Amino acid sequence: MYIFFWSADEALDLSKLPAFLVEILATVLLLLNIFHEIMGRGYIVQDDVEGYLSKLCEQKADPVTGLLIGQSSTQRDFVVMAIRTPQKEESAAAARNSVDKEWVTEHARQVSRMLPGGLSVVGVFIITDADAKDALTTLRQLLFAVENLISSEHLWDPADDDVTDCVTLQINPKTRKTVCRTFDIKDPKSVAKPADWKYQSGLCSSWATVSCSLNVDMLLPLLNNRTSTGNMEECLKEGLKAWAHQIECGLCLIDGKRLPEDSELTVIQRRNLRQTYTAQLLITTENKRLTDVIQQCGGSVSVTGAIHSRAYLHSNKPKARQAEKLLKRDVVSTVATRVQMMLEELLASDQESKGSCRDKQQKELFCLPHRIFCPLKVSGPLCVCDYQFSDEDLSEVPERLKEMLDIDAAEEDLDTRQEMTVEITGCDVTPEPTQEKVEAPEHKKNYIGVAMATAVALLATAASMLYLNDI
């Protein structure tokens, strides 16, 4: 018999072990890896999801598709919500016994915009009594289509600890048999792996909430000759990516402290049912600011104002590293979502007013939507969100929450305090000559500093406005 010891602070020197023990260790590690590959992941599911899916099984519609909302981590995976795909009224009869992939993926894109940091679309489900093999094929197609569309809107680079496995759930409405499988959505050749699906009560009761308010002030160039909506989108996305990189490189203080990446949030304060933390994001100035770059452009968009951002973390020893990553991604996502929503509004208005001339130099003012939170009907701090334009009535928010997330919410349930807007009684949208003071003298005729562009946008809080300008 061999007994050997080594310090936890030192790497194990295999050369000191007998050869047959080295072979045994290698075999054990290989078997563990194979076991992990075969068994797949385990999902802990809020018990309210079971009741929701049971109600959908009682409906006559077949098939019923939907999204699974939760949080994945290297330790555990959680599902806190299931959302049915809205039915297309005009083709309800034709859609029977078929799945509209484009409709499902577009719904997933809209839902993804309404999820704060820490919550995401982690999978899809289908309720059908069709052949299990056919249902799994449909689920696989939906899963990859949903992931491709949602990830196309992300402005951040994937992290090494990002979980790439997503879950599919098939339920037979007659037998209530449940089949849970996962796929690696980053591998187009990924095959299904079995996964454990376990319901648990009070899953969300002790999740941690990390929130912050951030002042946004960025000026984005429009490099084309005109600020047409079609060309604007690509320019703004590139500018937002550069800003997102600044956010990613910024310092994050949690409760006023810079924490080691692997430290647990629970060591900061007493354990309690609802742990809340306040964060600050400090943006570094090592890289050149967008406003310091001099380049030829046809106009610009400036996004300024204050936003409220938050992230939720599961209670299984949440790390500071994960909190920082999720909060930063929520900051980037909420700003990009509002800009994208405004572009969609502009595109719709451009189509209605074709033929209108925008050749003259002008400055235009738009109000970006502000963020409204709505608590989930589960025990715990989790909320979803929506975005309200200044010309919308608050009653429209519960209607969208019902349509997109299939949750019932009253106006009094909505949290509108985090971001406030003020009425704009009037504004001067004529270009001001003083804006040219930052123009580079040596390139006065041909180049315009990004900072002198003519567009100004205010995001949420005290004023939520957007200016667009052509030069």
Can you give the CATH number for the domain in which 191 is found?
3.40.140.10
Same-domain pairing of 168 and 236: no
- Taking the C-alpha atoms of residue 316 and residue 314, their distance in angstroms, rounded to an integer, is 6
Q: Is residue 218 part of a domain?
A: yes
Q: Is residue 165 part of a domain?
A: yes
**270-321 confidence digits (pLDDT tens):** 444 568 999 999 987 655 554 555 667 777 788 888 999 999 999 778 889 9
pLDDT for residue 219: 85
pLDDT for residue 15: 59
- Beta carbons of 462 and 309 less than 8 angstroms apart: no
Same-domain pairing of 396 and 430: yes
Residue 156 CB burial class (10 angstroms; 0-12, 13-18, ≥19): middle
Q: Is residue 106 part of a domain?
A: yes
pLDDT for residue 459: 59
pLDDT for residue 40: 67
Q: Is residue 126 part of a domain?
A: yes
Q: Is residue 14 part of a domain?
A: no
- Collapsing DSSP states into helix, strand and coil, what is residue 233? helix
- Taking the C-alpha atoms of residue 232 and residue 236, their distance in angstroms, rounded to an integer, is 6
Q: Which two tokens stand for residue 155?
A: 């402005």
List all residues 6 or more positions away from 45 whose beta carbon is below 8 Å from its beta carbon: 70, 78, 79, 80, 197, 198, 199, 200, 203
pLDDT for residue 344: 86
Cis peptide bond upstream of 63, omega within 30: yes
Same-domain pairing of 170 and 232: no
pLDDT for residue 357: 45
Q: Which two tokens stand for residue 236?
A: 């703004």
pLDDT for residue 301: 83
Instruction: From 159, 178, 200, give the residue that closes a domain.
Output: 200
Q: Is residue 29 part of a domain?
A: no
* Nearest in space to 86 (alpha carbons), one of 410, 408, 406: 406
Same-domain pairing of 189 and 129: yes
Q: Is residue 10 part of a domain?
A: no
- Beta carbons of 219 and 175 less than 8 angstroms apart: no
Q: Which residues of the chain fall short of a pLDDT of 70?
A: 1-17, 20, 22, 25-26, 28-40, 90-97, 224-230, 267-274, 285-295, 350-365, 379, 421-471
- Taking the C-alpha atoms of residue 421 and residue 463, their distance in angstroms, rounded to an integer, is 5
Q: How many domains does the chain have?
A: 2
- Taking the C-alpha atoms of residue 470 and residue 431, their distance in angstroms, rounded to an integer, is 10
- Taking the C-alpha atoms of residue 398 and residue 78, their distance in angstroms, rounded to an integer, is 26
Q: Is residue 206 part of a domain?
A: no
pLDDT for residue 220: 84
Q: How far is CA 320 from the centre of its chain?
A: 19
Instruction: From 169, 200, 231, give the residue that closes a domain.
Output: 200
Domain containing 136 equals: 42-200
Same-domain pairing of 239 and 189: no
List all residues 6 or more positions away from 128 whose beta carbon is below 8 Å from its beta carbon: 62, 63, 64, 135, 170, 171, 172, 173
